[in-house]
Amino acid sequence: MTRCIWVLVFLLFAGTASSQVLGQSPQTSPIDYSQPKQYRIGGIAISGSKFLEPIALTSLTGLKEGDMITVPGEDISRAIQNLWEQGILGDVDVSARTEGDVIYLTFNLTESPRLSNFRFSGINKSQAEALKDKVPLQKGRLVTDAVLSSTRNVVKEYYVDKSYLNAKVNITQRPDSVLPNSVMLNVHVDKGNKVKVGDIEIEGNEAFADKKLKRQLKNTKEKKFYKIFSSSKYNRNKFEQDKEALITFYNSQGYRDATIVSDSVYRISDDRLGIKITVDEGQRYYYRNITWTGNYLYDDAYLARVLGISKGDVYDQEELAKRLTYNPVGVDVSALYQNDGYLFSNIEPVEVRVEGDSIDIEMRVFEGTQATINKILISGNDKTSDHVILREIRTLPGQKYSRDDLIRTRNELAALGYFDPETIGLNPIPNPAEGTVDIAYSVVERPNDQISLSGGWGGPIGAVGTVGLTLNNFSTRKMLNLSEWRPIPTGDGQRLSLNIQANGKYYQSYSFSFTEPWLGGRKANSLTVSLFKTVYRRAQYQLQDSNDESLLNVNGGAISLGRRLNWPDNYFYMNHSLSYSRYSLKNYTLFSTFDGNTANQFSNGISNSISVVNTIGRSSIDNPTFPRRGSSFTLSVNLTPPYSLFSDRDESDYEFIEFNKWMFDASYFINLAGNLVINTRAHFGFLNTYSSDRQIGPFERFKLGGAGLGGGNVFVGTEYIGLRGYDDESVIANNNDPALLNAGGIAYNKFVVEARQLISPNPAATIYGLAFIEAGNNFGGYKDYNPFKLYRSVGVGARIFMSAFGLLGFDYGWRLDTLPGSTGRNADRGMFHFIIGQQIR
């Protein structure tokens, strides 16, 4: 007997919320349901129980032998309810027999089966996997009506969110022949057609056209044949958000009283919905008089200039709040106070008069007292040592509180690369009674060590294998402690890099570098030491005489010292580097020169390059992975000793290499809205000699085009600069003067504008898409230099930053100009570029 029948019986005979059926044998005295009577329970029996313990079930009823109960009454109905609430039974009824004032009860039970397995049908594998984590089905769980109903609702809701509003769910049970009292469920889903928005009607709007208002509904779009990039799926929750966004738009335009009078969703067809929204715009309001009270540190005129709102401006509460409390793209009034320690300050705008379409605002300022930083709290750094974080923090105990220092600290911690920049927490804990504030920083560690195992084809040297390891948070201090090797000692912010490339005996390259970012531990003075060795042999088949050996051996190293500056501001830094490279050649043509009549080869001998690189730069970007705001620039000068000024050296003498090289790079980020960022960049490079009478040598030149990966004589310090849409090194300098053959240019410039949209902020794989416009050129002589003669391209691309592999990406560039002499593949307009690391700049 079903639960519904019992409910009816209870209502008719017992007047309670549950029901009971009291059967009686012919030998017992009858029960008069019109006259309640008390009975003493003479015994309780359980029938129908196959797997559940009868004694335990009896105790669950709440009744025991000897209890006095009233029949009809609530005692038996309450016992049934107790059994139902356990969720282990499929059905319950009660029979009874009486002997005088004694009643004997029998509870007839039907046990709910247990779930042995379940599966989905009618949907694909990925959707079935997603639903398995959502439905309340677990092997071994009792299969009750509530479980089945909940499963249907979860599946339907899942497909409603995907615009399948007509989805049907049918659950069938089949006994499991292996496990007793167990069933297998088949959840069959008929999704039906996707239901999309066919039409959106907006009524009551006079100030703005329908088209403009529909654009405010970011997640609710009409299905039109020309809207190939916008989704027209209907989602209830997102529609509610869009209605709020519509009112927010009205408020931002001065219509502070705007409301949505009504909205309705109706069927156009089985797969189309119509939406009708009726708005009441109200009237448009403007600022009239803005007055200030309670301000003593700054006068009214200064606060008004910082606020930037004038009489007659459109009234916008959201913009007003932004300019008072936090303006991400400019100065706000509260920053004046909070950057000077007034953490407890507060500014409350009050509408003191509304007259016609004009509103008077009174800014009630509470300045309070200055707050002093008391304690710094750090959490979340399981691997990184506390002192590595503390040395980057600019909010120090004893100092006045500063919001700018707080935000700057977040940017400094993000720049370390050890933590997820999107989840760095800043939590001031004020104590107004003491006039102090504790600041709690929370971080989430992310893996940032990188390992590379790769192979590739290296042109004439054939297959090349690469093994690389970069440890970005290494600790030499913990190396002698075996317990810290998990698997390597980490946490002190040091950087160790090892890299090996090889192709048997024909090509071998080894490099090592180590960086200590805080030399001495007191100041941010960095020390970097690097060593490298490259051996390049030509195979016998490449030589005219098989008995000859062709060998290039390059050895070198560098030592760099860097420090942060406090002038002109504390975003500046400076770096000094001393480097040495030794080129040893035996029957190996490194490059050729042209003296006007004949080509000369440099194939034997030794060249030495000793240079000093001085770099000054400034960086204020907020996130190294996906910057949203800030800027950076670097100016570097690479100088060798001016040997030719002290000795009369032949121009073809490369025993000691000399040059001076100047490079400038600048980048600027603007956050337009949300995760949409504009990045503009400019790059310049110039190579020169110390004497105007001397020819510029083959070393340290520029090659432009492609992804900037290089592929020619990387041994001579050539700078490879990307220019998307063009082949690698295809933008060739035109050397009209006696110069080097195919050595590259002595001057280049490049300009880039990129629009970037963040797709996934996940620290394991940060992804963003981009669209770009860029232009550049490469020049073989200063007589030909023209910064306005540029080769242009446009395109789109994507970047994926994975902590274990660094930056990966691709671009599709479309060239807008034709290179001189372009034929074959070089004449193609569009091409893909694949990027590893930061080669394109």
Q: What is the pLDDT of residue 755?
A: 97
Range of lowest pLDDT (21-30, 309-318, 674-683, 702-711): 21-30
Indicate the pLDDT class of residue 667, thresholds 50, 70 and 90. very high
Residue 698 and residue 686: Cα distance in Å, rounded?
Answer: 14
Q: Omega of the bond prior to 430 within 30 degrees of 0, cis?
A: no
CA separation for the pair 407, 415 (Å, rounded):
13
Range of 63-67, 286-290, 466-470, 639-643 with top mean pLDDT: 286-290
Amino acid at 128: A
**301, pLDDT greater than 90:** yes
| C-alpha–C-alpha distance, residues 738 and 594, integer Å | 6
Report residue 739's pLDDT band, with 50, 70 and 90 as the boundaries: very low
Please, where are the H alpha helices in 617-747? 643-646
pLDDT reported for residue 271: 84
Q: Residue 211: what pLDDT?
A: 92
CB 683 within 8 A of CB 668: no
Pairing between β-strand 599-602 and β-strand 591-594 as defined by DSSP bridges? antiparallel
CA distance 318 to 258: 14
What pLDDT was estimated at residue 208?
Answer: 94
Q: Are 572 and 565 in contact (CB under 8 A)?
A: yes
Is a pLDDT exceeding 60 seen at residue 100? yes
Which of 95-99, 725-729, 804-808 holds the top average pLDDT? Answer: 725-729
Report the C-alpha gap between 322 and 327 in whole angstroms: 5
pLDDT for 18: 34
The helix-helix angle for 74-85 and 54-61 (nearest 10°) equals: 130
Phi, psi of 474 (to 5 degrees): -80, 160
Query: Could you give all domains of the chain from N- to C-terminal order, each with its CATH number?
Result: 3-111 (3.10.20.310), 114-190 (3.10.20.310), 196-280 (3.10.20.310), 286-366 (3.10.20.310), 372-442 (3.10.20.310), 548-836 (2.40.160.50)
H or E segment to which residue 410 belongs: helix 403-416
Q: What is the pLDDT of residue 661?
A: 96
Per-residue pLDDT at 29: 55
Task: Give the mean model confidence (pLDDT) for residues 783-802.
Answer: 92
Q: Model-level pTM?
A: 0.72
CA 609 to chain centre: 43
**Overall average pLDDT of the 670-689 stretch:** 93
User: C-alpha 796: how far from its chain's center?
Assistant: 19
Number of other CB atoms surrounding residue 384 within 10 Å: 22
DSSP assignment string, 488-542? S-B-S-EEEEEEEEEETBTEEEEEEEEEESSTTTTS-EEEEEEEEEEEEE--GGG
pLDDT grade for 17, boundaries at 50, 70 and 90:
very low
> What is the pLDDT, as a whole number, of residue 820?
76
- Tokens linked to 293: 């009270």
- Per-residue pLDDT band at 3 (split at 50, 70, 90): very low
pLDDT for the residue 709: 65
* Count of H-run helices and E-run strands, the chain: 13, 36
Q: Kindly give the residue spans of alpha helices, DSSP state H, lying in 30-69.
A: 54-61
Tally of CA atoms within 13 A in the half-sphere of 256 that contains its CB: 15
Distance of CA 507 to the CA centre of its chain: 39
* Between residues 591 and 518, the one the model is more confident about: 518
Cα(441)–Cα(413) distance, rounded to whole angstroms? 10
Look over the chain and give the mean of its residue pLDDT values, rounded to a whole number.
84
Q: Give the CA count within 13 Å in the CB-facing half-sphere of 763.
A: 17
**Residue 456 pLDDT:** 55
Q: pLDDT per residue over 207-256, tens digit each?
A: 999 999 999 998 888 887 766 666 788 888 889 999 999 999 999 999 99
Mean pLDDT of the 167-190 span:
88
561 sits in which H/E element: strand 551-564
Mean pLDDT within 527-546: 76
pLDDT tens sequence across 464-495: 677 888 999 999 999 999 889 988 999 999 99
